[in-house]
Structure 1
Amino acid sequence: MNDTPNSPSGSISIISTPIGNMKDITPRAVEALAQADIVAAEDTRRSSKLLAVHNLHKRLVSCHVYNEHRTVLSLIESALAGQKIAFVSDAGTPCISDPGFLLVREALKSGIEPQIIPGVSALTFAVAASGLPVEKFSFHGFLPVKQGRRHKALLEIAAENKTVFIFESPYRMEKLLNEIADVIGKDAKVAVIREATKLHEEVLRGTAEELVQKTSGRNWKGECVVAIYPGRKEEGEEEDGNTEE
């Protein structure tokens, strides 16, 4: 039995790539890239560097948020014609706040079962590094930029009794920490995971108020994942007065 799901003609692989450290790629991912006829990439310049590290010379096709709809149809046609398509996002795992969903959806509609090749992800790195309760957690991607929708999203996070993970631009980090303190609460537990797997990797932990004070005026750099635990008790802790004798 073949362990790799393929269409009757070609194939489509959704491949996780490093988020910083180029060593964080699986042999299976390298093999899939080597076998691909076309590598569809969110950022062809970045992906060409990854291919060069592994001495791979492939036809690169740009597939990003601004051209994804029309590019996906072309990729599906190529797969149905018998070609092997590999899809990679900027970094990490496609479909997680990155392109990829449309390709998976259209592939399934066309009778092609995408081959998912897992690997590193900024989200799963943050889940492990946050130090916050993660038996249950949710992921909200990037918060809206417009103030009204952003405030509503923060209120939704405040209502959750589990850790919430979001992505944020370094240009909005100071604003975000202040918003967490104001909307969710000064005592909300927060972890900021910055530049994961890179040279200047850093994890900041504390209450929202502590991090606001600690990072005030800081010139934030690099990609950030922010973990927020708005709940009043952590997993395993008993509510006051609930213990039966």
Structure 2
Amino acid sequence: MQHSDTQKGCLYIVATPIGNLQDISQRALHVLAEVDLIAAEDTRHSQKLLSHYQINTRLYALHDHNEKQRAEQLLSRLEQGMNLALISDAGTPLISDPGYALVNLCRNAGIQVVPLPGPCAAITALCAAGLPTDKFTFAGFLPVKQVARREALACLKSAEMTTVFYEAPRRVEETLAMLVEELGESTAVVLAKELTKTFETFCSGTATQVLDWLREDAVHQKGEFVLMVGPAEQSNLDIPPEAVSLLTLLMQELPLKKAAALTAKHYQLKKNELYQLGLELSS
């Protein structure tokens, strides 16, 4: 179905620049100028973008802490025939940003939701990282708590595709250190920093090399980060993830030889391959 750029009672999902203001589309500028109201994650931050392009549309705060309450209010305005745009501080709304509650509410109420494509930090980083892109997993922000974060990284031991994370500057060094411990020093990693901005940087190499780069200068740990982890070594990919999980669990209670034998019997796999995998997991 074709849509005009300003239909009554529409919610427009508008992607905004992640750094370079010139990355906004002409369609996005038109919609932001023509809608009745713009729901923004941080109105003060978004006002800078609007002022730069001389857009005077009124802003309305919609963020993680008030979205469930304010989504109902915005739905009421949409049902009255108002056009609304949803933006986040940077990038595509809902991608590790607020907006799900509002969009879900609108869909259930029969309100038209129109997406405008544009910047997204995960895709921007991935396309220039040099890691496999035929299939990938976007996992958003890693958990804040150390135990949960370590478990999330450990799950990548049998990952068959590139995994993309966002990470906060205050945690990025600790996360890379955990990654080295859980996945090994030679794991392929790319860290993208300050995308589309003046000091845009891609650091790629082994997990240890990227960690060393982070530690060599405090400035390297400042900014907005996208962390990308390459797929597991091909030798491990023939072993189902369920078998890797069982082997890991049994290794905590039994000698490796016994753990490998039991896992091989349960999943009808070769003992030697599981034994070698166990050695790798233990290293």
TM-score normalised by structure 1 residue count: 0.91
Q: 1:208 to 1:132 in 2, by over 3 A?
A: same
CA contact (8 A) 1:164 1:229 kept: yes
TM-score normalised by structure 2 residue count: 0.79
1:222-245 Cα shifts (integer Å, max 9, x gaps): 1000000142149xxxxxxxxxxx
Q: Considering only aligned residues, what root-mean-square deviation do their CA atoms show, in Å?
A: 1.7
Aligned equivalent of 2:229? 228
Q: Which amino acid in structure 1 is aligned with residue 232 of structure 2?
A: G
CA contact (8 A) 2:156 2:232 kept: no
Q: Distance in 2 between matches of 1:95 and 1:136?
A: 21
Q: Which amino acid in structure 1 is aligned with residue 125 of structure 2?
A: A
Greater Rg, structure 1 or structure 2?
2
Q: Distance in 1 between matches of 2:37 and 2:78?
A: 9
Secondary structure of the residue aligned to 1:114 is: strand
Q: Distance in 2 between matches of 1:203 and 1:210?
A: 13
Q: Which amino acid in structure 1 is aligned with residue 163 of structure 2?
A: V
Q: Distance in 1 between matches of 2:59 and 2:3?
A: 27
Q: Which amino acid in structure 2 is aligned with residue 85 of structure 1?
A: L
CA contact (8 A) 1:185 1:230 kept: no
CA contact (8 A) 1:138 1:162 kept: yes
CA contact (8 A) 2:189 2:228 kept: yes
1:64-122 Cα shifts (integer Å, max 9, x gaps): 00001011111111010011101100100011100111111000011012010010110
Structure with the higher fraction of residues in helix conformation = 2
Aligned equivalent of 2:3? 3
Aligned equivalent of 1:35? 34
* Overall identity of the aligned pairs, in %: 38
CA contact (8 A) 2:41 2:87 kept: yes
Q: Distance in 1 between matches of 2:2 and 2:165?
A: 38
Could you list the runs of 5+ residues in structure 2 that have no partner in the other structure?
236-283
CA contact (8 A) 2:191 2:210 kept: no
Aligned equivalent of 2:143? 144
Shift of 1:147: 1.7
2:17 equivalent to 1:18: yes
Q: Distance in 2 between matches of 1:198 and 1:2?
A: 34
Q: Distance in 1 between matches of 2:10 and 2:187?
A: 46
Secondary structure of the residue aligned to 2:226 is: strand
Query: Would you say how many aligned residue pairs link Structure 1 and Structure 2?
Result: 233
CA contact (8 A) 1:16 1:119 kept: yes
Moved over 3 A (4+): 4-7
Secondary structure of the residue aligned to 1:158 is: helix
Q: Distance in 1 between matches of 2:85 and 2:24?
A: 14
CA contact (8 A) 1:170 1:222 kept: yes
Could you list the runs of 5+ residues in structure 1 that have no partner in the other structure?
235-245
Q: Distance in 2 between matches of 1:87 and 1:215?
A: 35
1:110-169 Cα shifts (integer Å, max 9, x gaps): 101201001011011011111101111001111111122111111112221211000001
Q: Distance in 2 between matches of 1:41 and 1:129?
A: 29
Single out whichever of 154-163 and 221-230 deviates more from structure 2.
Answer: 154-163
Single out whichever of 20-29 and 177-186 deviates more from structure 2.
Answer: 177-186
Q: Distance in 1 between matches of 2:162 and 2:212?
A: 22
How do residues 49-68 of structure 1 correspond to structure 2 at under 5 angstroms? Answer: 49-68=48-67
CA contact (8 A) 2:136 2:161 kept: yes
CA contact (8 A) 1:129 1:193 kept: no
Aligned equivalent of 2:94? 95
How do residues 1-245 of structure 1 correspond to structure 2 at under 5 angstroms? Answer: 2-4=2-4, 9-219=8-218, 220-233=221-234
